[in-house]
Amino acid sequence: MSPPATVAPWRADPAPLPSSLVGLLAAGAGLAVASIYYSQPLLGPLGVSLHASPAEVGAVPTLTQLGYALGIVLLAPLGDRHDRRHLIVLKAAMLVLALLGCALAPNLGVLMLASLAVGVAATMAQDIVPAAATLASAAQRGRTVGTVMTGLLLGILLSRVVSGVLAQPLGWRAVYGLAALAVALIGWACWRGLPRFAPTTSLPYGELLASMVGLWRRHPELRRAAWAQGLLSVAFSAFWSTLALMLFQRYQMGSAVAGAFGLAGAAGALAAPLAGRWADRRGAAWVTRLGCAVAVLCFAALALESHWPLAARLPWLALCTVGFDFGVQAALVAHQTLVYSLEPAARSRLNALLLTAMFIGMAAGSALGSLVLAHWGWWGVVGLSTLMAGGALLVRLLDRPVAPA
């Protein structure tokens, strides 16, 4: 079966997209972005297998996040310049090779290089989301993008569950091998099922990247969104990148338990459709403040864990995880709503700028979380996450009211 015909940059056709196509896009976004997070529940077994210290294995998720940030800056803007179908399939092939490199890595150095490549190639998710917006008609664009974003968020959160559960009986190398197989299958399905996309700009590559500087300077709302989401990402990543080590050190629990916390965090994916509806009714800026406030309260509540009886401590951690994941994801969807409204013709580049700030924050959170855990323990990580989320709330509270997006 050959792919459907080329589609125009904006589709006026009111006919609904097939649910199979929307499901393909959601699955592709979820599997791509999941590749960034498989390593987090594996840090304990990775350290033992490769004879590395906690600080050394902490560099693995940090490099993956940095690779993702680099890929967003250098590759995601190409979605405005080239056929997104070709970009998605090419990045899927690159991601398969990078994941296989992780699975076969003979030492920590090779694993770190492969992890960086995983982050770069996983930006295929940021070609899929704009593709969904282009394929959908105006009447169903919000619902379609919301569905794809839900798939992406579930990929982020459930990746830890899958990784932790599979690593227990099969080992950490099998996790990467199975992930490579899953991405190969979704890449093949995208090659068969996606249409070709007409470019929206003819700017040469250098000018395309340079235009992002102008976008950053022109739009203060973009800068506020980037700072707030970046700070939330530091808090989010500091928690998730140290959770497995904390559970191992304090409760002698393995990767399966650390991964299972992703089930609690998966409730945060419900924030995507809810935040969209709230943004329509109350304004996207109001939703960003709400999301930041919920995140601050839930991160701070982690400090109460030791005050509970032993049997209640893990449920309390899970409850706090549900809360801050919900807040962080609600803020992300609302920030995207604000940013996409600034300059519709440059949405891929605006999205790249917002997500670059977000994943720089993720990388910083991984690095800072490992450092703080080594020097000040788990309560230092809780304090760091609360402080960063509080900074995001301050950024949103200090801006001027914005009309509903």
- For residue 106 the two structure tokens come to 């003979």
Q: 47-64: per-residue pLDDT in tens?
A: 778 887 777 888 888 899
Domains of the chain: which residue ranges? 19-398
Residue 214, Cβ neighbours under 10 Å: how many?
Answer: 11
Q: Chain centroid to CA 167: how far?
A: 22
Whole-angstrom distance, CA of residue 230 vs CA of residue 232: 5
Where are the strands (E) in 152-299, listed by range? none
What's the pLDDT score for residue 329? Answer: 84
SS3 36: coil
Task: Please report which confidence band the pLDDT of residue 404 belongs to, taking 50, 70 and 90 as the band edges.
Answer: very low
DSSP H stretches of helix in 53-171: 54-57, 59-74, 84-103, 108-121, 125-135, 141-170
Whole-angstrom distance, CA of residue 382 vs CA of residue 299: 6
SS (H, E, C) 345-390: HHHHHHHHHHHHHHHHHHHHHHHHHHHHHHHHHHHHHHHHHHHHHH
Does residue 166 contact residue 178 with C-beta atoms inside 8 Å? yes
Q: What angle do CA 380, 252, 389 make, to 5 degrees?
A: 25
Inform me whether the pLDDT recorded for 10 exceeds 70. no
SS (H, E, C) 172-186: HHHHHHHHHHHHHHH
Domain over 19-398 is classified CATH 1.25.40.80:
no
What's the pLDDT score for residue 165? Answer: 85
SS3 17: coil
Phi-psi region of 252 (alpha: psi -120 to 50; beta: other; left: phi over 0): left
Helix then strand count (H, E) for the chain reads 16, 0
Average per-residue pLDDT in the chain? 84
Residues of the chain above pLDDT 90, percent: 40
What's the pLDDT score for residue 293? Answer: 97
Question: Within a 13 Å sphere around the CA of 63, how many CA atoms are in the beta-carbon half?
Answer: 19
Residue 315, Cβ neighbours under 10 Å: how many?
Answer: 11
What's the pLDDT score for residue 402? Answer: 45
Q: Which of 35-44, 174-183, 280-289, 314-323 has the highest mean pLDDT?
A: 174-183
Give the pLDDT mean for 112-131.
92
Task: Please report which confidence band the pLDDT of residue 403 belongs to, taking 50, 70 and 90 as the band edges.
Answer: very low
Inform me whether the pLDDT recorded for 103 exceeds 60. yes
Whole-structure pTM over 0.85, yes or no? no
Task: Please report which confidence band the pLDDT of residue 405 belongs to, taking 50, 70 and 90 as the band edges.
Answer: very low
Inform me whether the pLDDT recorded for 185 exceeds 80. yes
